[in-house]
């Protein structure tokens, strides 16, 4: 079948203090602040969009900062537990030095054998990784604080944690068009067809895991790419036919979105590539 999703469109997380979030992602990690809007569902809250120069699908990490030091959430079953960026091969030492200079504590990604990476957390505790040796063909943002030859090139992958993996895997492969790429104990890696950043998603099965609790330091939802309104409409029809409760199409200004919970409890969005972030501003 033709793939219904071309990988990750964006990932949206919750943050505490807005300035600390901005300093870390636009400063330490060198991403571009592509947009600053409000959360359309909660206009008292900012919505930050970080990505590459144009905020291309597969590079966009967005945040709802609470604006005050709220109690942190906790990752667990039914959430995206790790966000992994891609960076070129040969950049590991640069990033190790940069993170150390920024007083960011790095740790070992235990059990991960599929990528050469550095694992760390953002100021709110969100688990992040940079995987090296991928993304070199993607364009770098050349006007940021990180030299282009070392700059983050969008997403490498995301890790979803669920108590039971089979139904989530069936949705990914049967409906969203991913294919199994690798399986290790308790983890399975799936790849979307085609090229571009954010093609990979990992399902981590933890039968006894406590459920995640939303708050700063956790991912609110993950969005998958679809080419246009027509392909989104076809996917919406199929999801509803298969028994999923799916929201109506919502206009998010820069893309059109539908939302549903996958069987493991993770909030999924399907977002269109167009119109993109240049719809109301030039680059």
Domain locations in the chain as residue ranges: 8-275
N residues, the chain: 283
The reported pLDDT for the residue numbered 138 is 78
pTM for the model: 0.95
The reported pLDDT for the residue numbered 136 is 65
The reported pLDDT for the residue numbered 3 is 47
What is the token pair recorded at 77? 């079953």
For the beta carbon of residue 36, count every other beta carbon within 10 angstroms.
11
CATH for 8-275 (3.40.50.920, 3.40.605.10, 3.40.50.2300, 3.10.180.10): 3.10.180.10
3-state secondary structure 21-83: HHHHHHHHCCCEEEEEEEECCEEEEEEEEEECCCCCCCCEEEEEECCCCCCCCECCECEEEEE
The reported pLDDT for the residue numbered 145 is 96
Q: What is the pLDDT of residues 145-193, one digit of tens each?
A: 999 999 999 999 999 999 999 999 999 999 999 999 999 888 999 999 8
pLDDT tens, the chain, 283 aa long: 444 789 999 999 999 999 999 999 999 999 999 999 988 888 888 999 999 999 999 999 999 998 877 789 999 999 999 999 999 999 999 999 999 999 998 876 544 545 589 999 999 999 999 999 866 677 889 999 999 999 999 999 999 999 999 999 999 999 999 999 999 888 999 999 878 899 999 999 999 999 999 999 999 999 999 999 999 999 999 999 999 999 999 999 999 999 999 999 999 999 999 999 999 999 9
Helix (H) or strand (E) holding 153: none
């Amino acid at each position: 079948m033709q793939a219904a999703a071309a990988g990750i469109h964006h990932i949206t997380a919750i943050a505490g203090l807005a300035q600390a979030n901005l300093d870390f992602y636009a400063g330490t990690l060198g991403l571009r602040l592509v947009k600053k809007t409000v959360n359309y569902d909660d206009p008292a809250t900012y919505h930050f969009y970080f990505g590459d120069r144009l905020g291309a699908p597969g590079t966009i990490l967005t945040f709802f900062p609470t604006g005050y030091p709220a109690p942190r959430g906790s990752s667990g079953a039914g959430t995206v537990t790790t966000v992994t960026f891609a960076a070129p091969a040969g950049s590991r030492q640069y990033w190790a030095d940069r993170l150390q200079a920024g007083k960011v504590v790095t740790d070992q990604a235990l059990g991960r054998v599929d990528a050469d990476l550095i694992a760390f957390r953002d100021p709110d505790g969100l688990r992040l990784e940079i995987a090296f040796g991928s993304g070199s063909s993607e364009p770098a943002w050349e006007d940021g604080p990180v030299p282009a030859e070392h700059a983050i090139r969008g997403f490498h992958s995301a890790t979803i944690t669920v108590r039971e993996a089979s139904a989530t895997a069936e949705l990914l492969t049967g409906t969203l068009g991913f294919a199994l790429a690798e399986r290790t104990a308790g983890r399975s890696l799936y790849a979307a067809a085609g090229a571009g950043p954010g093609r990979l998603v990992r399902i981590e099965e933890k039968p006894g895991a406590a459920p995640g609790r939303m708050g700063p330091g956790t991912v609110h939802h993950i969005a998958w790419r679809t080419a246009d309104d027509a392909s989104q409409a076809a996917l919406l029809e199929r999801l509803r036919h298969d028994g999923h409760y799916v929201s109506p199409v919502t206009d998010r200004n820069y893309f059109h979105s539908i939302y549903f919970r996958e069987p493991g409890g993770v909030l999924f969005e399907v977002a269109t590539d167009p119109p993109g972030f240049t719809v109301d501003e030039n680059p």
